[in-house]
């Protein structure tokens, strides 16, 4: 799992077989109280998960190319997300 992010900005805990795992507690620095998860936080989670899942099974045998998320247009959340 080769992400340029480190603690506290790296949220992907693990990945495998087309899924990525994120472990976030409700009392973390980014999610205080019972508030909804911000859309910007969810967008970053999707970007990190995509970078990890696009590595493929051959990661580690060769240097992975840099990946950049250029932007997102019209991010829509169909329901409120809580930790």
DSSP for 1-58 reads: ---S--TTS--EEEEETTEEEE---TTSSSS-TTPPPPHHHHHHHHHHHHHHHTS-TT
Q: Which residue has better confidence, 56 or 14?
A: 14
Say if residue 41's pLDDT is above 80. yes
Residue 1's pLDDT is 57
Say if residue 28's pLDDT is above 80. no
What tokens does 76 get? Answer: 């829509």
Say if residue 61's pLDDT is above 70. no
The pTM of this model reads: 0.70
Residue 33's pLDDT is 66
């Amino acid at each position: 799992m080769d992400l340029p992010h480190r603690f506290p900005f790296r949220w992907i805990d693990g990945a495998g077989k087309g899924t990525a795992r994120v472990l976030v507690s409700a009392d973390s620095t980014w999610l205080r109280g019972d508030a909804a998860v911000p859309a910007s936080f969810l967008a970053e989670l999707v970007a990190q998960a995509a970078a990890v899942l696009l590595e493929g099974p051959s990661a580690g045998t060769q240097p992975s190319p840099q990946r950049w998320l250029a932007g997102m247009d019209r991010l829509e959340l169909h329901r409120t997300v809580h930790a």
